[in-house]
Amino acid sequence: MHRPNSRLSIYGVAADDSSILLCRIAPGYPGEGRWTLPGGGVEWGEHPEDALRREVYEEAGMELTGFEFLGIDSRIYADDRWPDGLHIIRMIYRTLLVGEPSVTEVDGSVDKARWIPLADLRRVTVVNLVEAALDMAAIDLPR
């Protein structure tokens, strides 16, 4: 029996003129070693903006002080983990944060959070979500 699955996720883009906040995916998780935006799954019954606040704190240890909705990225994956397919719906927000990056979630899906210079971003292995979010936020990488 075919049982398609969907997952609603939320992510924050925190960037200034010179850097962007990214989190490294922990060993044992899909995409391990790659860099992604702070964020993750919206729990059942949770408002997406509350999920954004929670996820940014868990993955980057920072407090959300403002946000602006940028758009939605939608992807369908089918592989050994999801033979029937997985539809990932990712809500992207521009975020304003305070604090210093540090992962607060124990045994979570990321093991490091840090500001990465935009000038270095082409040399860092990122997930496709980062590229989609940069487009939505109209962030151009330095040449």
Residue at token pair 């790659």: 34
d(CA 47, CA 125): 31
Q: What is the pLDDT along the chain (143 residues), one digit of tens a residue?
A: 556 688 999 999 999 889 999 999 999 988 899 999 999 999 999 999 999 999 999 999 999 999 999 999 998 887 777 667 789 999 999 999 999 999 998 888 999 999 999 999 999 999 999 999 999 999 988 87
d(CA 58, CA 106): 9
- Which domains occur in the chain, in start order? 5-136 (3.90.79.10)
Residue 97 structure tokens: 């944060």
Helix (H) or strand (E) holding 59: helix 48-60
**Total-model pTM:** 0.91
